[in-house]
Chains A and B, each alone.
Chain A
Amino acid sequence: MFRSVKLKRGFDIRLDGVAEKVIAGETIPARYGVKPVDFPGLTPKLNVRPGDKVKAGSPLFHDKVHPEIFFTSPVSGSVSSVLRGERRKMLEVVVERDGNDNIDFGRENPENLSGEEVKNKILLAGLWPAVRQRPYHVIANPVRMPKSVFISGFDTAPLAPDFSFILQNSSLEEFRLGISALSKLTDGKIHLVLNGEGYLSELFNQVSRLEISYISGPHPAGNVGVHIHHIDPVNKGEVVWYVNFQDVMAIGRLFGKGIYDHKRIIALTGSEVLKPQYFRVLSGASIEPLVRDNVEKGKLRYISGNVLTGTKIAGDGYLGYYDSQITVIPEGEYHEFFGWASPGINKFSFSRTFLSSLFPKKNFKLDTNLHGGERAFVLTGQYEKVVPMDIYPMQLFKAIIAGDIEMMENLGIYEVAEEDFALCEYICPSKIEIQSIVRQGLDLMIKEMS
């Protein structure tokens, strides 16, 4: 008997530019960037200097607090630059691709290894950052043993890639190997959560040690935080790990082939993409060859990830470590005459204050305009409608703003990540930067609890 949860609260933002289910011909970008900023809370220490030759799997930098966590080069070539921002904060380590040299980590069956050996191999190859944890939504602390491991088998974010399509074009054997490696790292269960609305679960029957559950509903039903909350919630002092679906395969490849091959299938999406479709690329790949001659004219916003939680990158920027989606939408730098008073047939909104709510099926082309100025919290009962968890969002945000550690703990800060409240930020009529507030709260907790 499978566990099955139906969620009612949430919201699907209907955007133009869903990717066609076709994988484009091989494109091999020449430049790759590994971005320390993809990992919240990380203090990186460089292992290389510009000009150094590296192989796929050579460490580029490591974590200052946990020096055993390496961040490795996705390709062989040479380090071309280290980009730094304000206060010399390291932003990007860029590798120019050259040749096909891999570091050989050795082919091994994880079943024959101890938990410690499996962990060390993943750490060394630079795949450990793919393992993240609640509380705090950061790279998993390798010293702790999690009570369970979660893998989300679907993504409900706007224009998200279709995981069943990705699965059809990937190796289930690698997934199986990855699970078998992960199962060495916990005494608890390994949960795979699938979309309750029709998913081929039979495929996963051959994968042992998997506990399959179903969750259905509007976004954020696919968020791993929502899954954990409903299936095995994190209480104070407990740790749960989670790994992205395609990263499980990368871990499988590490054991099956002995190499760091962090490739994945990504969806290039958004209203400004001429041919939205799927691509096979490596983590950190430059998106430049994907979007060249493939986007509309005008000022555009390139996002690694989805429109709610993704990172703004340049048109020749790099795919984020955790992202399997690129979104391109128009920038919204324009003044709108009496915009707040218009009937709003073309204005998409969660609220029913615009005429657009009469067209519940229509897709919309949305830009980056804020549609208003920042205000105090005024309306209530809005956030609750898009948070399908037993959590009081507004009270939690206020506890964070007040820096009230005990209240944050009481209201469930250990269970959440900024991505779980991305929709609150989207719908907020007061235009409050909610994801930043939540991150600030998580960072404060990390500081206070260590």
Chain B
Amino acid sequence: MSSLRKTLDKLKPHFSEGGRFSKLRSVFDGFEAFLYVSDKVTFKGSHIRDSIDLKRAMSVVIIALLPALIFGSFNTGLQHFRSIGTEATVLHSFWFGFLKILPLIIVSYVVGLGIEFVAAQIRGHEINEGYLVTGLLIPLIVPVDIPLWMLALAVAFSVILGKEVFGGTGMNVFNPALLARAFLFFSYPKWMTGDKVWTEGLTAGLNIADGYSGATPLSLCAAGDTTQLPSFLEMFIGTIPGSVGETSVIAILLGALILIVTGVGSWKIITGVFAGGMAMGLLLNLYSANSYMELPFYYHFVMGGFAFGAVFMATDPVTGSQTETGKWIYGFLIGILSILFRVLNPAYPEGVMLAILLMNVFAPLIDYYVVQANIRRRLNRANIRVNNVVK
């Protein structure tokens, strides 16, 4: 047995019921479970259990997020150096961006996990792993220049009011990461919208090169400047201004591949969102009242947070539809609404966040109807039999 294990075993009594540090029990358990998978054995029911646990499932999502995080770091640096008109190597850009994003990640985890620890201690539960993913999602969907105290406030809001009051992980109605973003969006719109917030240093406005606007494709479209859009390839690769993790569709698709192959993310929801986006995009093409509506549907996939939302937000199993049929409908409607909000609502250049949050509310309703269909099948079966017996 390793010395670390011995130390843990020695410390454990102090953190158990009646021990000196029993108030920190959940923290100790959380760290112990992080370091070592528990030695608990099956007591009743199935004698063997699958190797997967929630930590494993969540770490798969984290791995799937890494390409977006890595590219996001690079792009943050790239946009910054473009804005001040200097050239920088890939590594230099990445490192610059990474150092900017790291504080966001740290604040998000420290505040979020801190609240989770307290909640777990109050409830007497083990610490749930749900926040491990949320904690990384939040820095990826905000502008890199967001003040840290705002981020901390948003995290606290979403974890306490969005999750813990409903009963903690597994019980929340809204996607916690999107809730944090929505909180920022409505509380501090100045920091969440416009052309300047997406590029590091642009709001401060020092040494900005001439001609660099920092406008995202979405704000260009909303302003009717579809001619100024970056090329499709550029938007697909992701060297454009935007939230940290949302710009590179390549990195996001890599993540989608990981989620789908491991079965952790629902391919039905992802496909549904893209299908819905395509349907709405084509429908708008039919009307073509302005240049935004004329945009080919696949442009919508590479602009803004559409792809990121489809792969990492809509697939949240807790707030999404829980039935397999429901997942198709849920995804499809998210796709439709995202594009609808985006194109037809001048107040909000980005529609994905609101579309997903709205569908979070309707997911139980979708499931309700899917389950009702099953109940009806069962009742019909019984009725057919009764009729046959009567004849």
A interface residues (Cβ-Cβ under 8 A, vs B): 13, 233, 235-236, 238, 301, 303, 307-310, 312, 327, 329, 331-341, 344, 347-354, 356, 366-382, 384, 390-392, 394-395, 410-412, 418, 422, 425-431, 433-436
Contacts and interface: CB of A to CB of B under 8 A. Distances in A.
Given A367-B48, A372-B53, A378 B170 contact: yes
Contacts of B167: 376
B37 interface: yes
B112 to A, nearest CB: 16
B44 A344 contact: no
Contacts of B367: 395
Given A236-B382, A373-B53, A366 B48 contact: yes
Interface in B169-204: 169-171
Contacts of A238: 385
Contacts of B46: 307-309, 422, 425-426, 435
B323 interface: yes
B59 A379 contact: no
A426 B50 CA distance: 6
Contacts of A236: 382
A427 B48 contact: no
B45 A434 contact: yes
Contact of A354 (B44, B51, B128, B318): B51
Contacts of B263: 351-353, 382
B2 A353 contact: no
Contacts of B377: 390
Contact of B45 (A337, A380, A410, A436): A436
B41 A392 contact: no
A389 to B, nearest CB: 11
Contact of B37 (A303, A309, A339): A339
A353 B264 contact: yes
A430 B54 contact: yes
A308 B40 contact: no
B44 A435 contact: yes
A429 B50 CA distance: 7
Contact of A429 (B2, B39, B57): B57
B375 interface: yes
B10 interface: no
Contact of A381 (B4, B47, B317, B371): B317
Contact of A436 (B44, B264, B327): B44
A349 B49 CA distance: 9
9 contacts: A335-B5, A339-B37, A370-B49, A377-B170, A395-B323, A410-B375, A427-B50, A427-B52, A433-B45
B129 interface: yes
- Leading 5 A-B pairs by shortest Cβ distance: A372-B53, A376-B170, A339-B37, A235-B382, A347-B51
B128 to A, nearest CB: 6
Contacts of B4: 337
Nearest to B321: A380
Given A378-B130, A392-B323, A373 B33 contact: yes
Contacts of A371: 37, 49-53
Contact of A378 (B2, B44, B317, B385): B317
B168 A376 contact: yes
B322 A373 contact: no
B129 to A, nearest CB: 7
B262 A352 contact: yes
Contact of A307 (B41, B48, B51, B371): B48
B327 A381 contact: yes
A327 B42 CA distance: 15
B164 interface: no
A337 B2 contact: yes
B55 interface: yes
Contacts of A367: 41, 48
Contacts of A349: 50-52
B41 A335 contact: no
Contacts of B118: none
B41 A368 contact: yes
B50 A428 contact: yes
Contacts, number: 212
A356 B51 CA distance: 10
A367 B39 CA distance: 11
B50 A369 contact: no
A369 B37 contact: yes
Given A335-B36, A429-B50, A429-B52, A233 B375 contact: no
A333 B382 CA distance: 48
Interface of B: 2, 4-5, 33, 35-42, 44-57, 59-60, 126, 128-130, 167-171, 261-264, 266, 317-318, 320, 322-324, 327, 367, 371, 374-375, 377-379, 381-382, 385
B264 A351 contact: yes
Looking at A338, A356, A369, A433, the one whose CB has the most chain B CB atoms below 10 A away is: A369
A353 B45 contact: no
Given A335-B37, A376-B168, A411-B371, A422 B45 contact: yes
A394 B261 CA distance: 23
Contacts of A350: 50, 52
B56 A332 contact: no
Contacts of A394: 322
Most buried by A among B4, B38, B317: B38
Nearest to B269: A381
A329 to B, nearest CB: 7
Nearest to B55: A340
Contacts of B47: 301, 303, 307-308, 310, 312, 327, 329, 368
B50 A376 contact: no
B39 A369 contact: yes
B168 A351 contact: no
B126 A380 contact: no
Given A352-B262, A353-B264, A371-B49, A380 B59 contact: no
Nearest to B37: A339
A373 B51 CA distance: 12
B127 to A, nearest CB: 9
Given A353-B262, A390-B374, A395-B371, A233 B37 contact: no
Contact of B57 (A337, A376, A379): A379
Given A337-B2, A376-B128, A332 B318 contact: no
A353 B50 CA distance: 11
A382 B46 CA distance: 17
Nearest to B266: A381
B36 A372 contact: no
Contacts of B266: 380-381
A411 B130 CA distance: 29
B54 A378 contact: yes
A378 B381 CA distance: 32
A331 B39 CA distance: 10
A436 B129 CA distance: 24
Nearest to A357: B262
Given A390-B377, A435-B46, A436-B45, A380 B35 contact: no
Given A233-B381, A390-B377, A384 B39 contact: no
A380 B322 contact: yes
Contacts of A382: 263
A390 B376 CA distance: 12
A381 B367 CA distance: 12
Nearest to A331: B41
A188 B123 CA distance: 53
Given A337-B36, A351-B57, A435 B50 contact: no
A375 B126 contact: yes
A376 B382 CA distance: 34
